[in-house]
Amino acid sequence: MKTEQSISVIREQVAQWHSAGESVGFVPTMGNLHAGHLALVQQARRFANRVVVSIFVNPLQFGLGEDLDNYPRTLQADIRQLESHGVDLLFAPTEDEIYPDGRDNVTAIDVPGLTSILEGAHRPGHFQGVATVVARLFNIVQPDVAVFGEKDFQQLAVIRRMVQEQGIPVEIYGAPTIREADGLAMSSRNGYLSPEERVLAPTLYQVLQFVSEGLHQGQGFAELESAAMSKLREAGFEPDYVSIRRAIDLAEPQAGESALIVLAAVYLGTTRLIDNLLINMV
């Protein structure tokens, strides 16, 4: 595996692969890799001849008071994991390489509607930062396919809409959430949990399952959302939201919808956790 910081080198290598008739899969990450990231790499390998991974802690998607400075940076360990999974090229740029005019002088990309609800309402500017850096990375790497995790379901929806509206020639794939044995969705932020909080954390997924069961029993959306919030508070979480949405576009659902998703965001101590569960009502 090659590790490069230069945009020109990345473009040159990808152009060589394309000239040879090889397809390129891409997995953008912020590093501190775990089994969930590696599952994305494996899926990209199924869809493409070559796999490129990026590691870049994007400052634009961190809000005021969030953990940019403390976000774990584990490049050498990440490199070892990527090498063992057959990645062809790692793009690990500096901030100056991605934002040569500074982070305050970037042409931002917004996806109206999707970026202002749920996570967007609680983390203003977050999805604008995500869309901006992903568009930049797509322009640099020029992949044929890109893979994102369904754990960040709203992020996946934002990127799909951006690619469609901007006419970016990359096919987007979502990969199922990878969970620990006790149900907790894998996340780099799980490392912030204390031992006691880690024991409690799987309750979030259990509450999502409670909502799914209630929907199949015919309970109402608002009733289930309220009950789920109460369960989380009683368990020791501070929930930001539990919301049932249409899976296709995250719009407010109507009775009789066949494909739903319940999304939740909570604080457990100082750690913010998100999770979701797709629900087939057919």
Q: Using one digit for the tens of pLDDT, what is the confidence trace for 223-275?
A: 999 999 999 999 999 999 999 999 999 999 998 999 999 999 999 999 999 99
Q: What is the pTM of this model?
A: 0.95
CA distances from 1 to 51, 88, 193 (A): 10, 5, 33
pLDDT value of residue 122: 96
- Domains annotated for the chain, with CATH where assigned, are 2-175 (3.40.50.620), 188-274 (3.30.1300.10)
Q: Report the percent of the chain where pLDDT is more than 70.
A: 100
Tens of pLDDT, residues 95-135: 999 999 999 999 999 999 999 999 999 999 999 999 999 99
What are 27-67's pLDDT values in tens digits?
A: 999 999 999 999 999 999 999 999 999 999 999 999 887 87
The pLDDT, as a whole number, for residue 66 is 84
pLDDT band at 195 (very low <50, low <70, confident <90, very high): very high
| Catalytic choice (34, 37, 126, 216) | 37
DSSP string, 15-73: HHHHHTT--EEEEEE-S---HHHHHHHHHHHHH-SEEEEEE---GGG--TTSSTTTS--
What average pLDDT does the segment 201-208 reach? 98
- Supply the mean pLDDT for the chain: 97
CA atoms within 13 Å, Cβ hemisphere of 92: 15
Query: Is 85 marked active-site?
Result: no
Q: Inform me whether the pLDDT recorded for 2 exceeds 90.
A: yes
Tokens encoding 243: 């919301």
